[in-house]
């Protein structure tokens, strides 16, 4: 059994896409085991995305992620990290496969609807970051 962190980003929350996104996770066989709606502080968003600190999009990403409430979710299941990554699709919606969350709901590579941990190791760090 594996757990992974998902974030439904501010653009998806404001456009009422939460229900459809959660349904897509559930239909892929993932079990929702924890969730919290929250407006992230600059420190939280910056700390969460610390690995991207030197990237040119970092400031803009923090601004976007603090622009409104997000839904933090913990998914559980066999191979949950990879399963959620498959449901989300590629980071860049232009490259995301048809039928994936990002293909359906992303507005841009930054406002790409959802986040998901990229490995079991980061899933552990990211889950603990928000759900101590
Ligand atoms: P996420 O999966 O949450 O991980 C890092 C985030 O940075 C990513 O989704 C996007 O929201 C954002 N991001 C990644 N690459 C770019 C880029 N080239 N330009 C703007 N934002 C990006």
Q: Is the pTM of this model over 0.75?
A: yes
- Residue 132's pLDDT is 85
- Distant-in-sequence, close-in-space partners of 23: CB < 8 Å, separation ≥ 6: none
pLDDT, mean over the chain: 98
The verdict on the CB of residue 4 being under 6 Å from ligand 1 is no
How close is the Cα of 44 to the center of ligand 1, in Å? 16
Residue 87 has pLDDT above 90, yes or no: yes
Residue 103 has pLDDT above 90, yes or no: yes
Average pLDDT over residues 53-66: 98
Q: Are 115 and 40 in contact (CB under 8 A)?
A: no
Convert the pLDDT of each residue in 71-86 to its tens digit: 999 999 999 999 999 9
- Residue 35's pLDDT is 98
Identify whether 115 is a catalytic site residue: yes
The verdict on the CB of residue 117 being under 6 Å from ligand 1 is no
Convert the pLDDT of each residue in 29-45 to its tens digit: 999 999 999 999 999 99
pLDDT bracket for residue 59 (50, 70, 90): very high
The verdict on the CB of residue 70 being under 6 Å from ligand 1 is no
Q: Are 38 and 69 in contact (CB under 8 A)?
A: yes
Give the residue whose CA is nearest to atom 22 of ligand 1.
Answer: 110
How close is the Cα of 51 to the center of ligand 1, in Å? 11
């Amino acid at each position: 059994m594996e757990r992974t962190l998902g974030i439904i980003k501010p653009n998806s929350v404001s456009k009422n896409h939460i229900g459809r996104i959660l349904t897509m996770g559930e239909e892929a066989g993932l079990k929702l085991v924890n969730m919290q709606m929250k407006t992230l502080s600059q420190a939280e968003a910056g700390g969460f995305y610390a690995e991207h600190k030197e990237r040119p999009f970092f400031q803009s990403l923090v601004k976007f992620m603090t622009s409104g409430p997000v839904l933090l979710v913990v998914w559980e299941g066999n191979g949950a990290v990879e399963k959620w990554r498959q449901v989300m699709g590629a980071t860049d919606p232009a490259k995301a496969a048809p039928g994936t969350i990002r293909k359906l709901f992303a507005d841009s590579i930054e406002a790409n609807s959802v986040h998901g941990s990229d490995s079991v190791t980061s899933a552990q760090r990211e889950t603990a970051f928000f759900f101590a």
